[in-house]
Amino acid sequence: MRGPHNIIRLIRTGATFERTGAMDVILDAYDAPPMLRLVARLLGKPFMWLGYRGDPTMPPATRALTALGPAYIKFGQVLSTRPDLVGDDLAVQLRVLQDKLPPFPTAQARAEVQRELGQPVEALFSEFSEPIAAASIAQVHKARLADTGEDVAVKVLRPGIERAFRKDIDAFYFAARMIELFAPGARRLRPMEVITHFDGVVKGELDLRLESAAASEFAANTKDDAGFRLPPIKWHLSGRRVMTLGWADGTSLGDNAALDAAGHDRRELGERVLRLFLMHALRDGYFHSDMHQGNLKVAPNGDIIAYDFGIMGHIDEYTRRVYAEILFGFIRRDYKRVAEVHFEAGYVPADRDVDEFARALRAVGEPIFGMDASHISMGRLLAYLFEVTERFGMETRTELILLQRTMVVVEGVARSLSPNLNIWEVARPVVEDYIKQSIGPRALVKDLAQTALVLARFGPRLPRLVQNALIAQADPPPPPRGFGRAALAWTALAAAAMGALAMALVDHLA
């Protein structure tokens, strides 16, 4: 990391906000305290001449973020889904960051396609349009396959995007290191690990082969989800910098006027978006983690269509069960159980008092449940929860950052469709269903079946492992030669029988 370069980069960030007029907009949106305003002014005002001018036709915040580069644009995309945090005016300004950025020339896109796929564009596509959407990392063209006449969408990475992103993330690393150095109280949040995680996620977004694979897996998981579909991947026309998928007609989920004109029920759409996210996160452990309005459409028949699979989240089965219990406990207002789950999972040090922690959690939950439905917020709950867990020594779990961030984004999307949506009422049946499936007799039998199947696979090795362990402890005389074969046979048979019995019980319970 190049210190001087990053210092200049961060100063230029403040200067750009000042020069474009975005500083006042953002500080006012967050109702920033006087001290923060003073620091922001000291960072930006004297160096305003270093700031980027940006596109003067854009609103101030959008103008500043687009001028600063792709990582800043990603940040703006998240804020655009949270009018409850930044206000309606700023949210509308930032929404153009999702898919309405200035495109790069079509000639460059055609050259990228030819270079990546090894054939001239004319040989692959009978039509290849001007850009129809341009985002921070790539842009999309509508095309028609030369051999079948099928309409498709062709996604092409921006030329030089890897280098541009590297500059931004390098500055973020520097800022995180400064935070750890000068703000020891923030070390609990592990800012360096957070940036490392974010860096890895976006590196995956810069390889469209990985995005194609993610879309394929996501489609397999969600093929039976009513009211939800994905455009199919065209593998033979996809590579590292180019991705081709089926064309999907629909109305942007961010265009409320168009949704109303098409006769769609926005409240039902908001509820469905939230339910789908929770189902994918809890049921599958694999979820779309960039679910802003720019990546969602509504088909004429009402189906929600998702695309842009560069950032996908994954959480393992154990963690899903833990967080489902925590969320379910808050929904039921059973704060003692929420506290116990934190201790059982090792999230809070064992030497802390569970009853005191439960009382602190009650102080988090009760004010939220006393609010009007339009003000109940998972994002607000997470913010309060972090304050409490900090006091009890819980560290930030970087593997869950994407889940937490996506929860905030999805909530913002749902509330932009229906401001009075009761988040908890929508979430409750999904979480309850997952609890029933993952905790209880049926889940126990399923776990036993999986354990038995693993034992069956390792059956031939178990006698030798047991024998070696016994020899290592007691160094007894070697057993008769027939013992190994008999033990092998009995172990494999017992494991297979356990597996068969457990699977039969699963089928019976189902």
Mean pLDDT of successive 10-residue segments in the chain (510 residues)? Answer: 69 87 76 66 76 86 85 73 62 68 90 95 96 87 96 94 83 77 60 74 84 94 95 95 94 92 94 94 90 89 92 85 82 88 86 91 78 63 69 68 76 87 83 77 66 66 71 59 46 41 43
DSSP annotation string for 275-312: HHHHHIIIIISEEES--SGGGEEE-TTS-EEE---SSE
Q: How are beta strands 251-252 and 296-298 bridged, if at all?
A: antiparallel
Is residue 488 domain-resident? yes
Kindly state whether residues 461 and 320 are assigned to the same domain: no
Kindly state whether residues 429 and 450 are assigned to the same domain: no
**pTM for the structure as a whole:** 0.71
* Structural domain range at position 90: 3-95
Instruction: Please give the Cα distance from 360 to 342 (Å, whole number).
Output: 13
Is residue 462 domain-resident? yes
151 labelled catalytic? no
Is residue 361 domain-resident? yes
pLDDT of residue 70: 79
295, 307 contact by CB (below 8 A): yes
For residue 119, what are its two tokens?
């054939």
Kindly state whether residues 433 and 449 are assigned to the same domain: no
Task: With CA atoms as reference, report the closest residue to 296 among 81, 70, 6.
Answer: 81
Alpha-helix residue ranges (DSSP H) falling in 183-316: 191-205, 208-222, 256-261, 266-279
If 0-12 CB within 10 Å is exposed, 13-18 middle and 19+ buried, where does residue 407 land?
A: buried
Task: With CA atoms as reference, report the closest residue to 445 among 437, 454, 455.
Answer: 437
Is residue 418 domain-resident? yes
| Residue entry with tokens 């942007």 | 252
If 0-12 CB within 10 Å is exposed, 13-18 middle and 19+ buried, where does residue 479 land?
A: middle
Kindly state whether residues 374 and 416 are assigned to the same domain: yes
Domain boundary among the residues 397, 418, 438 is at 438
Kindly state whether residues 333 and 428 are assigned to the same domain: yes
pLDDT of residue 380: 64
What's the chain's Rg over C-alpha atoms?
A: 27
User: Active-site residue among 84, 168, 170, 290?
Assistant: 290
Domain boundary among the residues 423, 438, 453 is at 438
Domain boundary among the residues 36, 62, 95 is at 95
Is residue 102 domain-resident? no
Kindly state whether residues 434 and 445 are assigned to the same domain: no
Kindly state whether residues 445 and 434 are assigned to the same domain: no
Kindly state whether residues 326 and 339 are assigned to the same domain: yes
Is residue 159 domain-resident? no
pLDDT of residue 236: 94
pLDDT of residue 95: 67
DSSP annotation string for 99-125: TBSPPPPHHHHHHHHHHHHSS-HHHHE
Give the bridge partners for 156, in sequence order. 139, 242
Task: With CA atoms as reference, report the closest residue to 305 among 423, 222, 206.
Answer: 222
pLDDT of residue 441: 64
Kindly state whether residues 295 and 426 are assigned to the same domain: yes
**What letter does residue 232 receive in the DSSP assignment?**
P
Is residue 168 domain-resident? no
Dmax (CA) of the chain = 87
Kindly state whether residues 477 and 330 are assigned to the same domain: no
Instruction: Please give the Cα distance from 489 to 466 (Å, whole number).
Output: 14
Task: With CA atoms as reference, report the closest residue to 20 among 57, 75, 71, 74.
Answer: 57
Kindly state whether residues 352 and 331 are assigned to the same domain: yes
Is residue 63 domain-resident? yes
Torsion of CA 146, 148, 149, 155, to 10 degrees: -70
Tally the domains of the chain: 3
Kindly state whether residues 294 and 431 are assigned to the same domain: yes
Residue 158's SS3 state is coil
